Amino acid sequence: MYFKRVTKYEGQRMEAYLRLGIFIGVYLLAALLEAYFPKRPPTQSRRTRWRINFSLVGIDILVQRLTVGAAAYLTAVYAQTHGWGLLHVLDLPFWLTALIAFLALDFAIYLQHVMSHALPVFWRLHSVHHADLDIDASSGLRFHPLEILISLLYKSLIVAALGVDPWVVIAFEVILNGSAVFTHANIRYPDKLDSWLRLLLCTPNMHRVHHSTSRDEMDTNFGFFLSIWDRLCGTHHRAPPRAGHEKVALGLPYAREQSKLGLIALLMMPFRVTRQTASLGLSPDVVSNEVKN
Ligand SMILES: [Zn+2]
Ligand SMILES: [Zn+2]
């Protein structure tokens, strides 16, 4: 163990500052690149989208503060104190347990994303993220508060089962946040760079395919940070969207009007039973319809 053990409160504070500091840095960089090298012209009012996306972020932060925001971190501290979890039983060097834990958490998040598309009850929550009609760095933070809470509890279970070190939990959360901003960024960059980056990491061009309105494209590229899980599990979509990155319609095929996608509508979206959501959000007849922006 090369790092000093952090106390519960030191770590909690450090986690909050680190996440916020790195998040602001990554967000400003992404916003700057989006301003100078945009990939797609906006199809919707950016002001309206940003107002909605940042309102959702505010609600998410508030809900986490009032409930189990630090659950994964606190579980790690508890597991460390009580010697819980598989990694505490194995006598491995710190760097190796940290690597195993990091890979396991990233794979778990990949699997959660796959399940969010496969299971109707989770799709109801996750469809709020997909309802954005354009994507940019702000879309990477736009999730229904219930999806955030479920994700936190799910991560805490993995942390408890493995006995993940609190430092690894902090590092993972910081990287996951930064990566979510980066993969949603609307930035133009050379294809060659994309091919190199996506050997290991999820890239904006990769994740844009995932936001296509076409089901066959949407059900690919589920990774958030490492791209290896998509490649290993056969969900990697290497080619650009059929309509091209600049023209592809983004969002949900059955919710195309920005005026009907306000903050309240998004918060209520998981609880609305429509013909589409009842049959997993994307019934084949809806998908086969031509979607136009
Ligand atoms: Zn998704
Ligand atoms: Zn996304």
Closest CA to 87 of 9, 16, 167, 11: 167
Ligand that comes closest to the CA of residue 132: 2
Query: Considering the entire predicted model, what is its pTM?
Result: 0.88
The DSSP secondary structure of 114-177, one letter per residue, reads HHHHHSHHHHHHHHHHHT-SS--GGGGG---HHHHHHHHHHHHHHHHHHT--HHHHHHHHHHHH
CA of 192 to the centre of ligand 1 (A): 25
Which tens digits make up the pLDDT trace of 243-265? 999 999 999 998 888 888 999 99
Amino acid 272: pLDDT: 84
CA of 38 to the centre of ligand 1 (A): 22
Structural tokens at position 96: 């190796």
Structural tokens at position 187: 């930035």
Residue whose tokens read 């932060």 = 61
Cα dihedral 109, 111, 117, 123 in deg (nearest 10) = -50
The full set of domain ranges for the chain reads 26-288
* Residue 252 DSSP SS3: strand
Mean pLDDT of the chain: 88
CA dist 42 to 61, 251, 293, Å? 27, 13, 11
Across the chain, the runs of DSSP E, i.e. the strands, are: none
Q: 46 CB contacts (<8 Å, ≥6 apart)?
A: 134, 136
User: Per DSSP, what are the bridge partners of residue 250?
Assistant: 212
CA of 253 to the centre of ligand 1 (A): 14
Amino acid 280: pLDDT: 47
CA distance 111 to 211: 17
Closest CA to 170 of 155, 181, 182, 157: 155
Provide the 10 A C-beta neighbour count for residue 118.
11
pLDDT at 213 exceeding the cut of 90: yes
Structural tokens at position 207: 């994740």
Which tens digits make up the pLDDT trace of 267-276? 999 988 665 5
CA dist 260 to 115, 128, 263, 266, 289, Å? 27, 12, 9, 9, 20
CA of 95 to the centre of ligand 2 (A): 30
| Phi, psi angles (nearest 5°) of residue 38 | -75, 145
CA distance 246 to 54: 24
Ligand that comes closest to the CA of residue 180: 2
CA of 215 to the centre of ligand 2 (A): 14
CA of 85 to the centre of ligand 2 (A): 31
Amino acid 282: pLDDT: 44
Amino acid 146: pLDDT: 95
Ligand that comes closest to the CA of residue 135: 2
Amino acid 157: pLDDT: 95
The residue with greater pLDDT, 241 or 257, is 241
CA distance 156 to 60: 18
pLDDT at 172 exceeding the cut of 60: yes
* Residue 255 DSSP SS3: strand
